Amino acid sequence: MTKTTTHRPIKRGVIIAIFIVILLGITAMVLVNITPGKKVETYEQCKDAGGTIAESYPEQCIINGKTYINNSITSGNKTDTGEATGYVGLSEQDALQKAANEKKAARVVMRNGEGLPVTMDFSPGRLNLTVNNGVVEKVEVEK
């Protein structure tokens, strides 16, 4: 009687499939900059976790599909002044319309706790609005 040896191609196929799934998972994590196991809620935490720093003013860090603004920079260069009177409490749309009517440059720099992409240019008198749930909570005037 002859002994037949059967190769197990199924085992080899399963190993290759597992390898491909692991490789795709690692590639996806790199592409979207996901940092497993690290909780990120602030600009500093984002920076420490290896997030991408955008060339903007104020600096922004992007990780896990979210953007965080470096608020420590903005506090020294921008201040609340009387020029921003009457904006806090308005809806985002009303505040932007009011600024347009008063011929003031204005932009929303933060919405619902997430920093928005902004340019690094400096425009004296420009209003930078922080909006939460559609309502202006803070106005900073570039000086």
Superfamily of domain 80-143: Trypsin Inhibitor V, subunit A (3.30.10.10)
Task: Give percent above pLDDT 90 in the chain.
Answer: 25
CA distance 110 to 90: 15
Predicted pLDDT of residue 41? 82
The DSSP symbol for 99 reads H
Write the pLDDT tens digit of every residue in 1-49: 566 665 555 677 777 878 787 777 666 555 545 555 668 888 888 888 8
Residue matched to tokens 């919405």: 111
pLDDT at 99: 93
**61 pLDDT tier (thresholds 50, 70, 90):** confident
In this predicted structure, what is the pLDDT of residue 81? Answer: 45
Which helix (H) or strand (E) segment holds residue 107: the answer is strand 106-111
- Residue ranges matching CATH 3.30.10.10 in the chain: 80-143
Place of tokens 């690290």: 38
Q: Is the pLDDT of residue 80 over 50?
A: no
